[in-house]
Structures are given as structure tokens and as C-alpha cells.
Amino acid sequence: MAANKSLLILPGDGIGPEVMVQVRRVIDWFDRRRAVTFEVEEDLVGGAAYDAHGVPLTDETLATAMASDAVLFGAVGGPQYDDAPRAMRPEVGLLRLRKELDLFANLRPAIAFDALLDASTLKEEVIRGLDLLIVRESTGGVYFGEPRGIETLPDGHRRGFDTQTYTDEEIRRVAAAAFDLARQRRGHLTSVEKANVMESGVLWREVVTELHKESYSDVTLEHMYADNCAMQLVRQPTRFDVIVTDNLFGDILSDCAAMLTGSLGMLPSATLGAADATGRRRALYEPVHGSAPDIAGKDMANPIACLLSFAMLLRYSFGLEDDAALVEGAVRHVLKTGVRTADIMGPGAARVSTTVMGDAILRELDKQAA
């Protein structure tokens, strides 16, 4: 069958390559067993690209990413790059992809799997039924704002500074994406900023309120300060449906939300750009966990976050809801049977390697598709 979707796979560093091997197996399974087929290119990013080419993302790789239907990303970074020049750090590869592809809406779901409730540091009754989605703005704010730098003052002291900046248009487009998602879910959106101390927060609140009035009055909107949101996330996380927030608050709150579920190794993410006239949108999918250098190369990492990222790719880039649900269903079923990687071990469960987790999920896909 002719390949009909082009994917660029960037495994990156640390556990990125080994979890991506399991995704490749699932992609091969789709090529054999389902209507959709993929034309896959694989390339380097982060420290791996820096070692090979002296930069964390080459222009060629960026061009391939631009031309692909979707990008699937592993993880970047490692202690061996701590002394690399700042502009050459592995993270820059990821930030440049987000920026150059104009991927402004970073979707980070946090879902508590019933089979894993005991893996959370929170009480089961606090997280049972948790299903929230953080929409993090990902091309603006303090991550990219100018001016920034470290300068030496006339008195000899040094001063480091960054700029938090948002235009109304940047706020509007990410808020619209979040309202659309809330509408498809439980119809509730929490907009998070620090309008009590930040000008960009004041504008954020104004623009979201306006947009709500104009186009989304069927969605329930609430505003919340970021510090309060951090508190509510651990106090009563099930009160949230969709949260929309800026780049830095989103970075922090999404780590907090991820940990509620008991394992970062379970959580996927998608970063989406605007749809063009044909409805096609640029998109990058990545597990929320980082490169985890301490366990890299040991066949210990949990491949589920990366596999669920592939499920998001099927859903958001290609509209293949049934195929996405197939992957998610296989994961849920395997967890129910008590198969666990080290990060989600619980009493009475069977601890398995990355590869054996992949085996179990493939077997389950075979069964479900039979």
C-alpha cells in the first residue's frame, strides 16, 4: 500500500531513542494492519544533533519538519551538555522547532488511569476521575521576549533580565484553541495569569474575556491567578476541565498536573499551529517526560507517554479517532493486567522492561484488531 502520511521522527537524547523504538513497532503494526500507512523519516535533534553536527537542530532537519505532516519528538538534554554554549544547548532544538513551525498551542493532558491510582502521591479519592487538559501558550512570553540578557552595571554589579510579552493576537489565538477544546470536552475553561501583578496578565484577562463574550458564551469561563491554580491543582484537581495559560506558568503547572497522575512516564502532549486553508496544521507530538539520563540505555523507561503521543498524532493531525482510541485502549488494557514499568510499579504488579511493555501493547493491539 502506498504511504499516505509523512512523519518526521526525532528521538533525541536519553530515553528518547529507546521509547521511540516501541513507537516504531506500533507504526509498523499500523502499516501492516490498518488502512493508514506512514512514510517515516528519522533524524537527530538536541544533544545527538549537537554531537554530530555542532548544532541542536540543523536547517535541513528544520526544513524536513516543515514539510512533514507531523513531527514525533522524543526528549532532549543530558548532563554532558551542561557546559555547551547556551545557544547550542539541546533544549534550543526543541524551542526552535516550536518557534519556527509557529506551534503556539501546547496541549498537555493529565489523566488518572484507574489501574494506576495507587501510583500517585496524592490520595486516591483526590485524583480518581482526573481528566484535565492544560493548553500552554508555547511561542511567546518570557521564553522568547526581548530584551533579555546579562549586563554589567556602571557600579560593576551584573544584572540578568528577561521580558514577558504578549500581544492581543497571541493571547487570542491560544485562547480560541482552548475554548474550542473545552467545547468538545466538558465546556469549562480556566484562564490563568497573574493580572494582580503583571501588565501582560491584565491584557491576557481582557482579551480572553472579550473573546468569550464574542464567540464562546456557551463555555463557562473562570479566571484564576497562577499561584492559586497551583494550589487548586493539588487540592481538588478534578474541578478542572481545560486550563489555558502562558508559556512559563504552563511549563510549571503542567509538571505539577503531570505528577498528580503518578507518573510523568504516562503523559503525552501535542503542540499545534494554526490550520491553513486546507485544514492542515503543523504539529509536534512529544512525551511530557524529559530525557531521564539516569535511566537511559537500561531498557527501563516507560514507553507509554510516547505511544500516547502517537495516539494524539493520529487524532489531531489526521482525524483518525478510531485508530487513536485503539492505541489508548491497548494501553489501558495492558495496565489493567498488572504489567508495569519501574516508574509505575505497585504492589502485586509485574515489573517489565521497555521492550516487554512494547511487546504487551502490540499483543493487545493484535487482539483488539482481530
Residue numbers annotated as active site: 143, 194, 227, 251, 255
The residue among 75 and 365 lying less far from ligand IPM, judged by its C-beta, is 75
Shortest separation between residue 10's beta carbon and Mg ion, angstroms: 17
Site for ligand IPM (CB under 6 A): which residue of 31, 39, 41, 91?
A: 91
CB of 213 to ligand IPM, least distance (A): 31
The neighbouring-strand residues paired with 109 are 133
Helix (H) or strand (E) holding 200: helix 199-215
Mark the segment that binds ligand IPM (CB under 6 A) among 37-45, 88-96, 176-184, 205-213: 88-96
- Residue ranges binding Mg ion (CB under 5 A): 251
* Among 238, 294, 275, CA closest to 79: 294
Is residue 302 within 8 A of residue 19, CB to CB? The reply is yes
Cell numbers placing 53: 553536527
Q: Please list every residue from 138 through 197 that binds ligand IPM, using CB under 6 A.
A: none
Nearer to Mg ion, 251 or 343 (CB): 251
Least CB distance from residue 145 to ligand IPM, whole Å?
14
Instruction: Provide the minimum distance between the beta carbon of 78 and ligand IPM in the complex, in angstroms, as a whole number.
Output: 12
Residue 218 contacts by C-beta under 8 Å, 6 or more apart in sequence?
183, 187
**Quick one: which segment of 8-16, 91-99, 120-128, 276-284 binds ligand IPM (CB under 6 A)?**
91-99
Q: Looking at 29-37, 38-46, 51-59, 90-98, which segment touches ligand IPM (CB under 6 A)?
A: 90-98
What's the 3-state SS for 260-289?
Answer: HCCCHHHCEEEEEEEECCCCCEEEEEEECC
- Distance in angstroms (rounded) separating the CA atoms of residues 101 and 348: 45
* CA–CA separation, 303 and 154 (whole Å): 52
State in angstroms the smallest separation of the CB of 258 from Mg ion.
Answer: 9
Binding to ligand IPM, residues 197-256 (CB under 6 A): 251
Shortest Cβ distance from residue 286 to ligand IPM (Å)? 7
Q: How far apart are CA 300 and CA 291, in angstroms?
A: 13
Q: Which three cell numbers stand for residue 133?
A: 487538559
Cβ proximity to ligand IPM: between 219 and 270 the closer is: 270
Tell me 4's DSSP state. Answer: -
Kindly tell me which of 75 and 304 has the beta carbon lying closer to ligand IPM. 75
Cα radius of gyration rounded to whole Å, the chain: 21
Identify whether the C-beta of residue 170 lies closer than 8 Å to the C-beta of residue 137: yes
Cβ proximity to Mg ion, 251 vs 364, nearer residue? 251
Quick note: the x/- pattern for ligand IPM over 248-277, rule CB under 6 A, is ---x--------------------------
The sign one gets for the Cα dihedral 321, 323, 329, 334 is negative
Residue 91 site contact among ligand IPM, Mg ion, none (CB < 5 to 8 Å, cut-off depends on kind): ligand IPM
Dist. CA 56–CA 49, nearest whole Å? 5
Which positions touch ligand IPM (CB under 6 A)?
91, 94-95, 251
